[in-house]
Structure 1
Amino acid sequence: MIRVLLVDDQVLVRAGLRMLCESTEDVVVVGEAGNGREAVTLAEQHVPDVVLMDLRMPGMDGITATKRILDIRPSTNVLVLTTFDDDDHVYPALTAGACGFLAKDIAPPELLDGIRKAASGESPFSPAVLRRLVDRAMTANQPGLQPPDLTGREREVLALLGAGMSNAEIGERLHVGVTTVKTHVANMMTKTGCDNRVRLAVLAVRLGLVAA
């Protein structure tokens, strides 16, 4: 059972998310928070597997809450639900440790799939959100990108990861086991210095391995 904490300052949004989560047998809502401070307290108390995190809230925002939750519960996966006008918040949330980003207009089945992916340690993200992450990374004042020393198979895995595929989907596409995919992902993190799958996905686009 996947334990989920809902964080959003809008009561109706939380109610809708709760109804969606309760419509399936493998997800249970362990708490609701209307701001970041409440989120930190409830995450410490209930130890959720996944926190569905809004970014803009009164008081403590979702970025600060994400960092504090991961400080006290590093095994928790924070999945951000964002709107298209959150450009200035999404990239800092990635830096704070969020594992994935989904747009608030996502279809219900895709949101549930995103929760499951986050719980399994993957990084779900909406294509439009990835594009904004890449745009932010590309326009930042950074030194020229040096292509990492990746094997041909690692580049294949990176391209599919950048396209939003899960480990299972990548394994099926490449006809290898999930454990093999996980090994490739871990090796790429070591070689590139990317500490999560979202950063690897951004790198895939910046290297031209996948269209954003």
Structure 2
Amino acid sequence: MIKIAIVEDNNTLRSSLESLFNRTEGMRCVASLNNLLNVVSEVGTALPDIILMDIGLPNISGIEGVRTVKTHFPTIQVLMFTVFDDDENIFDAIRAGASGYILKKTPPDEIVQAVQDLYHGGAPMTASIARRVLQSFQGAPATLVEDYRLTARESEILYSLVDGLSYKKIADKYCVSISTIRTHICNIYNKLHVNSKAEAVARVLGQKR
């Protein structure tokens, strides 16, 4: 069962998302918030696996909310769910610790798929968002190889993580086992001195901007 918390100030949309997750097999909405004022206590009580979080929230922005969540609950994954598709918000959210970024115009079935992909090790992004990230990412592998001594395969796998692929899809792509991919990813994290997909992408973006 994938436990999901929603942080969204639009009451109608938040209610629709609750209904979507609760009627989807294998998912359950365990918390529904319209702001981040009590996010630490609410999340601490509900202990979701994934938080679907808006950026344009009252009082405290979703980007600051990601930082707060990751500081107190580093294993909880945050999926940004927003109308903002500009570089500043995208990269700030990823640097803050978000593991995925989808737009509010995303169809319901794709929202469900994004949550499932994130839960299973992917980094889901709306196609236009992924394109922006990849454009910023282009040219980075050479720098990473030089600075962090990543192998060619490790750079390819890092590209695949940025592209939102799950461990299984990466394993299928390179015709190896999931355990082999996990070993490569562990090596990537060690070389980049990071602990998560989001931190790895943020490290790359930090070099590009």
Q: Please report the TM-score for the alignment, with normalisation by the length of structure 2.
A: 0.82
Corresponding pairs, count: 201
Give distance in 1, aligned partners of 2:136 and 2:181.
Answer: 28
CA spacing shift, 1:69–1:19, aligned 2, 3 Å: same
Please provide the CA RMSD for this pair: 2.8
Give distance in 2, aligned partners of 1:81 and 1:169.
Answer: 23
Note the residue ranges of structure 2 that are not aligned, 5 or more in a row: none
- Map Cα deviations across residues 76-109 of structure 1 (whole Å, 9 max, x no partner): 1111112244543222222221111112222222
Query: In the alignment, is residue 80 of structure 1 matched against residue 77 of structure 2?
Result: no
Query: 1:131 Cα deviation (Å)?
Result: 3.1
Give distance in 1, aligned partners of 2:6 and 2:88.
Answer: 22
Give distance in 2, aligned partners of 1:124 and 1:195.
Answer: 18
| Matched ranges for 1:3-22 at <5 A | 3-22=3-22
Query: 1:8 Cα deviation (Å)?
Result: 0.5
Paired position in structure 1 for 2:36: 36
| Matched ranges for 1:97-108 at <5 A | 97-108=97-108
Note the residue ranges of structure 1 that are not aligned, 5 or more in a row: 139-144, 206-212
Q: Which amino acid aligns with 2:155?
A: R
Paired position in structure 2 for 1:190: 190
- Segments ≥4 residues shifted beyond 6 Å: 202-205
Secondary structure of the 1:37 match is coil
- Map Cα deviations across residues 124-166 of structure 1 (whole Å, 9 max, x no partner): 222311333456678xxxxxx7241332332332343343321
Q: Please report the TM-score for the alignment, with normalisation by the length of structure 1.
A: 0.81
Query: 1:18 Cα deviation (Å)?
Result: 1.2
Query: 1:3 Cα deviation (Å)?
Result: 0.8
CA spacing shift, 1:119–1:162, aligned 2, 3 Å: closer
Percentage of identical aligned residues: 28
Query: 1:176 Cα deviation (Å)?
Result: 1.1
CA contact (8 A) 2:48 2:76 kept: yes
CA spacing shift, 1:172–1:133, aligned 2, 3 Å: closer
Paired position in structure 2 for 1:146: 143
CA contact (8 A) 1:159 1:204 kept: no
Q: Which amino acid aligns with 1:108?
A: P
